[in-house]
Amino acid sequence: MEQISFEEAFERLEASIAALQDGKLPLEESLQHYQEGMQLLRHCNELLQQAELSVQQLSVDAIGTITAQPVDL
């Protein structure tokens, strides 16, 4: 999938879902929307996983040492 932001991918995913829920698309176009939606969903999940890995909590111990620890989301 091309490099698109999470927000853009999510908007496109929502648009595909809305088009499918409308129920007025021909079968071939419905399949295209479904396939694109699945790709967008995977892309969004990958971006969310990367974001979770980069979120860390900084803490300072008694002698002033700063450490970074993963945040449990």
Q: What is the pLDDT of residues 16-50, one digit of tens each?
A: 999 999 999 999 999 999 999 999 999 999 999 88
pLDDT band at 54 (very low <50, low <70, confident <90, very high): confident
Query: How much is the pLDDT for 19?
Result: 96
Q: Note the pTM of the prediction, 2 decimals.
A: 0.73
- Domains for the chain: give ranges and CATH numbers: 6-60 (1.10.287)
Residue 1 pLDDT grade (very low, low, confident, very high; cuts 50, 70, 90): low
Written in H, E and C, the secondary structure of the chain is CCCCCHHHHHHHHHHHHHHHHHCCCCHHHHHHHHHHHHHHHHHHHHHHHHHHHHCEEEEECCCCCEEEEECCC
Tell me the percentage of the chain whose pLDDT exceeds 90: 62
pLDDT band at 73 (very low <50, low <70, confident <90, very high): low
- How far from the centroid of its chain's Cα atoms is residue 36's Cα? 14
